Amino acid sequence: MARDEEARRDLAVMRDILQTWGRLGVVRSEQGFASTSESLTVFRREADAEADKAAFVRDVEEEVEEARSLHDEEATAVHRLALEAREVMLARQRQRHGDGREAQPDDAVVVPDTARFSRSKVLAAIVDRLKRCRRPFGQPILMARLSHDTEITPADACPPHEVQRRARGSSYAM
């Protein structure tokens, strides 16, 4: 589930980067100059829909088996605790009936019949969760690279307010 959350964050970050960079491009275009050297290059890698689907199915099966294992461990632990509680109650009854009579289990301690593992319910929940946080099968994979290769517009080619802004900024330089 941590991996799913990371995938969901990755998609959101990429969307935010592209939106912000798009707005920056509009500003640069409207102003007619660049005051930073940063440039963003987005690479699009085609994805194989069949490979994506196979990986999805594999991940779902692994998670179902993990859920089954966890269920079995919890059911075993609950069953063991109930049996231990029952033995404690029987021992107390024996102490109370010191006459050698066989102690009878107390109705207050019932060994639970742990619920059966519902593969279909677990499967549906896992598939639903994974579909919400993963890209659709075959959707291209986007990767971004930030570089510093844009030429900053020289001050003499900038409007006066940009020249003044740069002058104010340079007074803070170390």
- 8 and 35 together in one domain: yes
- 27 and 105 together in one domain: no
As a whole number of angstroms, the distance between CA 110 and CA 28 comes to 73
For position 66, what pLDDT does the model report? 94
- 77 and 59 together in one domain: yes
**Regarding predicted confidence, which is higher, 111 or 7?**
7
Asked whether 106 and 61 are in contact (CB, 8 A), the reply is no
For position 5, what pLDDT does the model report? 82
pLDDT band at residue 52 under the 50/70/90 scheme:
very high
Cβ within 8 Å of residue 80, ≥6 positions away: none
- 71 and 98 together in one domain: yes
- 105 and 33 together in one domain: no
* The total number of structural domains that make up the chain: 2
Phi/psi zone of residue 2: left (φ > 0), alpha (ψ -120 to 50 degrees), beta? alpha
Q: Where are the alpha helices (DSSP H) in 97-118?
A: none
- 104 and 147 together in one domain: no
- 95 and 148 together in one domain: no
As a whole number of angstroms, the distance between CA 7 and CA 24 comes to 26
Q: pLDDT above 90 covers what percent of the chain?
A: 40
- 40 and 53 together in one domain: no
Lowest mean pLDDT among 70-84, 108-122, 136-150: 108-122
Q: For residue 111, give the amino acid letter.
A: V
For position 127, what pLDDT does the model report? 95
As a whole number of angstroms, the distance between CA 32 and CA 165 comes to 16
- Cα–Cα distances in Å, from 33 out to 20, 115, 141? 18, 68, 31
Render pLDDT for 73-114 as a digit per residue (tens, 0 to 9): 888 888 788 888 888 888 887 787 765 555 555 555 555 556
Alpha carbon 154 to chain centroid, angstroms:
45
Q: Work out the number of other CB atoms within 10 angstroms of the CB of residue 63.
A: 19
For position 136, what pLDDT does the model report? 92
As a whole number of angstroms, the distance between CA 98 and CA 74 comes to 36
* Domain, as residue range, for 135: 49-139
For position 102, what pLDDT does the model report? 58
- 113 and 156 together in one domain: no
For position 75, what pLDDT does the model report? 85
- 119 and 147 together in one domain: no
For position 109, what pLDDT does the model report? 54
- 92 and 104 together in one domain: yes
What's the average model confidence in pLDDT over 145-171? 89
As a whole number of angstroms, the distance between CA 111 and CA 132 comes to 39
Alpha carbon 161 to chain centroid, angstroms:
45
pLDDT band at residue 61 under the 50/70/90 scheme:
very high
For position 100, what pLDDT does the model report? 56
- 65 and 99 together in one domain: yes
